[in-house]
Amino acid sequence: MLDLSLHEIAQAVGGKLLMSPSFTPPVISSLATDSRTVHRGENSLFVALKGPVYNAHNYIPELIKKGIRAFLVSEEPEPSIDAAFIWVNDTTLALQKLAAHNRKQFSYPVIGITGSNGKTIVKEWLHDLLSDGHKIVRSPKSYNSQVGVPLSVLLMDDHFDLAIFEAGISQPGEMQHLAPVISPEIGILTNIGDAHQEFFSSLEEKLQEKLVLFTGAKKLVCRIDEDWIYQQAADFCKENKIEPIFWSIENQHTDLNFSLKKNTRQTEISGNYQGRSFSFAIPFVNDSAIENACHCAAALLALQQNPADFRETFSQLQPVAMRLELKQGINNCTIINDFYNSDLNSLSIALSVLKQQAVSAQQKKVLILSDILQTGLSKKELYSKVNSLLEEWEIDQLIGIGAEISKQRNCFSVKADLFSDYKEFEAGFNRQAFQSSAILIKGARRFRFERISGLLQQKAHQTVLEISVNALVHNLNIFRKRLRPETKIMVMVKAFSYGSGDIEVARVLQHQNVDYLAVAVADEGVRLRNAGISVPVIVMNPEQDSFQNMIDFGLEPNIYSIELLRNFAQSVSAAGIQSFAAHLKIDTGMNRLGFKSSEEISEACEFLKNSDALKIKSVFSHLAGSDEAALDSFTQSQFEKFDRAFDQISSALPYHIDRHILNSAGIERFPQKQYEMVRLGIGLYGVSLTGLPVQNMGTLKSTVSQIKTAGSDETVGYNRKGRLDSESRIAIVPIGYADGMNRKLGNRNGVAFIKGQRVPIVGNICMDMLMLDVTGTSAEVGDTVEFFGPHIPITELAEKIGTIPYEILTGISQRVKRIYLQE
Ligand SMILES: *Cc1c(COP(=O)(O)O)cnc(C)c1O
């Protein structure tokens, strides 16, 4: 834990300390950067970060009310008698300086990891491989950004004797800030791939940037099976006097050389280092796991560990679940799975997610926790700290499972049910005991708590649509980057957010400070309001019988005709309201909803001038072919008509009105027409027309229910359409056209991705099932099958059946559970 005075901090970051003379400054023991997750923070320093669209300074007054008493700021603070401020130029840089200051206090070894892939897994595996002999501090989850790295390094204290941190970069110039913060003694470069390539002119440039992390290191672990990496890394080591620990697979000329033998379920790895041979096995066969394990072995050698012990420890490596998973549970419960690990830092992060979920769904807060494997504290101290966290986050019930936690009853003041192992818990398990609760299941990997999740999960249907919250935010930012910082953004969450879930998506967007949400009909807006969404909402298709709801819930209508204008204004007046926000839609060529002629527009303006019921917030129109170059001259004519209509309206009405016409493809192709606002739709959901680096957001998945063999004289499915050339293995998967799998994908038109390869859909697709030809693959019952996602782009699927991605996304039926993943 940190233990710093505000004076020390101000000095370390070169800031000005401002506080009233009567104020007693707190000693700082922790830092916070997320206004949603700090509370009870008398000893927290809140770091007010600022980004292009986010400014945490706005939350300071609210946080002072909550009891936070110290702030690191870059805007001149309002004086307060209840808080102290450290004023700097740039709070991110100051946070990095403070972390670098903390780093210098400790002389135990620090391992620094960077590279394109595998950073978190290498870090976690090294932790598992070394945790028997060491007290290790490491980056929570994948905290590897400009902010995540300093927050990780600020966890260093003298309870530990080894640190492992990861650093990620996306742009040139970033690593120089992280290098002094981590200042590793041993470096690991995992690999160089094309992630984040958009900001680098070449892979060489990216490698050079990553190497900056290791400038002051003593040893560098690097795989050198590619010549250009070898050249660059060797030059770098020579120049900086670093001992290279370079390894390769099947290349006799390196100091550390590995050879492999793969079985069905494990890989035997033999190594040779400085003339000494050793071997071990890992329970994985895929290439990335093998590469990660070799990095770990090389790092252990760099730490002078005895390779004779590798066989024992490596055989126990487990997959790393890096993401929190939110799932529908039994009896109106929500399940939050976090099998990443159990330690105090990640527990605190997960509890903040639990609280957010429970508050928004009005559920009780339940924590199921394994023994915590973190060392450095006595058991009593450790579990007393757990108890303080439970009190802090107002947890209603703890279920502790494990030999150690079950002995600490005296540490807990909240309701606690303790079991010495999983078997004991399972024996007494009663489904009825779990009702309307948000349940966080948090266990170190070795406890295999996915079994508990299995007990609590609703098991209706094995087909799910996984939504990556990180991809959603990433895509939003990709589009934001194309806009001027002051341009407002409206996000289309109509049709269940293009199939990805209205409330969950709206919550994320609200936190990302979008300016408007747009729904198709009023009921969709009411759902958002009932879920606590307070962002302005526009209803594209306001219907007469929903006017009252719209007025009650503050949902703003799209006014597209003179009748609608009169009728809505009348309802507003009848409710005794003035200046209710509304928007005018102009038809500039789509021939869908909207005012078309200048006569209609002038009639609307006359009406508005003489009525105080409505205030027009924006005037907008919709492009018919923004995605099609052949229609560009038509699109230009739409812009011109739009400008003329706007001039007419703005000269008639005496107040400021915003304009917007661009949808996603419009933002990509005509950013000069962004006006005051844009309307983002499909781009957010991961489809870009011009090849912007958007990420896949939705993955449609199911699992294999059964596998059978059929001979060449047999057929598969209805009407015997599935012909077989030879004896074949057929996998049956519980997803059909009722789930949104279009029947045109049957009969080998569509494919699925299973066990690392594509296989065809064989025969007609049934209502609730389909069959795959998995001949020649190792597919088994229970395997995951992807229908679209990272391996099968949704655009490819759309093309195969002659439609557009929108129809595929919105066609996934409601019975398919949506699961939200957050890294
Ligand atoms: C759906 C919709 C959009 C968003 O279109 P995308 O092509 O998905 O970006 C924008 N404006 C209006 C009026 C819409 O109905």
The full DSSP string for 110-172 is EEEEESSS-HHHHHHHHHHHHTTT--EEE-STT--STTHHHHHHTT--TT-SEEEEE---SST
At 338 the pLDDT is 87
Nearest ligand 1 atom to alpha carbon 663: 9
**Backbone torsion region of residue 448, taken as left when φ is above 0, otherwise alpha when ψ lies between -120 and 50, otherwise beta:** left
Give the ligand 1 atom nearest the CA of 683.
9
Under 8 Å between Cβ of 224 and 230: yes
Contacts of 217 (CB under 8 A, 6+ apart): 112, 184, 185, 186, 187, 240, 242
* 238 tagged catalytic: no
C-beta separation of 389 from 351 below 8 A: yes
pLDDT at residue number 229: 94
Note the pLDDT of residue 6: 95
Q: Whose CA is nearest to atom 4 of ligand 1?
A: 681
Burial per residue of 668-680, b for 16 or more beta-carbon CB atoms within 10 angstroms, e otherwise: bbbeebbbebbbb
Asked if residue 170 lies in contact with residue 178, where contact means CB atoms within 8 angstroms, the answer is no
Q: For residue 498, count CB atoms less than 10 angstroms from its CB and return exposed for 0-12, middle for 13-18, buried for 19 or more.
A: buried
| Closest residue to atom 13 of ligand 1, CA basis | 622
Give the tokens for residue 58.
Answer: 């706005």
Q: What is the pLDDT of residue 426?
A: 87
Residue 567, classified by CB atoms within 10 Å of its CB into exposed (0-12), middle (13-18) or buried (19+), is: middle
98 against 358, higher pLDDT = 98
What pLDDT does 374 receive? 66
Give the number of the atom of ligand 1 that is nearest the alpha carbon of residue 558: 13
Cα of 478 vs centre of ligand 1, distance in Å, is 17
pLDDT single digits (tens) 291-350: 999 999 999 999 999 999 999 999 988 877 667 788 888 888 999 988 866 778 778 878
- Could you tell me the pLDDT band of residue 544, with boundaries at 50, 70 and 90? very high
CB 593 within 8 Å of CB 587: yes
As a whole number of angstroms, the distance between CA 140 and CA 134 comes to 17
Query: Burial, 16: exposed, middle or buried (Cβ in 10 Å; 0-12, 13-18, 19+)?
Result: exposed
pLDDT of residue 117: 87
Over its C-alpha atoms, the chain yields an Rg (Å, rounded) of: 29
Atom of ligand 1 nearest to the CA of 664: 9
Q: Which of 16, 104, 415, 718 is catalytic?
A: 718
Q: Give me the catalytic one of 219, 494, 596, 701.
A: 494
DSSP code of 576?
A: T
Distance 492 CA to ligand 1 centre (A): 6
Mutate to test the pocket of ligand 1, among 509, 587, 622, 628 (most ligand atoms within 8 A of CB): 622
What 3-state DSSP class applies to 698? Answer: strand
State the pTM of this model. 0.67
pLDDT of residue 704 exceeding 80, the answer is yes
Give distance in angstroms: CA of 607 to centre of ligand 1.
28
Specify the pLDDT at position 40: 61
Span from the CA of 623 to the centroid of ligand 1 (angstroms): 9
Distance CA 450, CA 623 (A): 48
**pLDDT for residue 469:** 92
Residue 250 has what pLDDT? Answer: 85
- Residue-wise pLDDT for 433-474, tens only, equals 899 999 999 988 778 888 888 888 866 558 999 999 999 999
Count how many residues are written for the chain.
823
The average confidence (pLDDT) of the chain is 92
Atom from ligand 1 closest to the CA of residue 490: 10
Instruction: Please give the pLDDT value at position 140.
Output: 83
298/651 Cα distance (integer angstroms): 72
- Nearest CA owner, ligand 1 atom 6: 681
**Lowest-confidence segment of 155-164, 304-313, 342-351, 362-371 by average pLDDT:** 342-351
DSSP designation for 748 = T
DSSP type of residue 71:
E
CB 190 within 8 A of CB 164: no
Q: How many helices (H) and strands (E) does the chain have?
A: 25, 39
Q: In angstroms, what is the span from residue 742 Cα to ligand 1's centroid? A: 24
What average pLDDT score do residues 793-820 get?
Answer: 93
Q: Which of 496, 679, 794, 804 to mutate to test the pocket of ligand 1 (most atoms within 8 A of CB)?
A: 679
User: 130: pLDDT confidence band, cut at 50, 70 and 90?
Assistant: very high
Q: What is the pLDDT of residues 623-682, one digit of tens each?
A: 999 999 999 999 999 999 999 999 999 999 999 999 999 999 999 999 999 999 999 999
Closest residue by CA, ligand 1 atom 12? 622
Which is the closest atom of ligand 1 to the Cα of 622?
13
Task: For residue 638, report the distance from its CA to the centre of ligand 1, in Å.
Answer: 16
In the residue annotation, 16 being an active-site residue is answered as no
Give the residue from 740, 820, 54, 822 showing the smallest Cα distance to 503: 820
Range list of β-strands (E), 511-596: 516-519, 537-539, 555-559, 580-585
pLDDT of residue 450: 84
| pLDDT for 586 beyond 80 | yes
Ligand 1: lining residues by beta carbon, under 6 Å: 492, 540, 622, 663-665, 679-683
Please determine, for residue 195, whether its predicted confidence score (pLDDT) is greater than 80.
no
Q: Of 318, 359, 260, which Cα lies nearest the Cα of 443?
A: 318
Q: Does the pLDDT of residue 386 top 60, yes or no?
A: yes
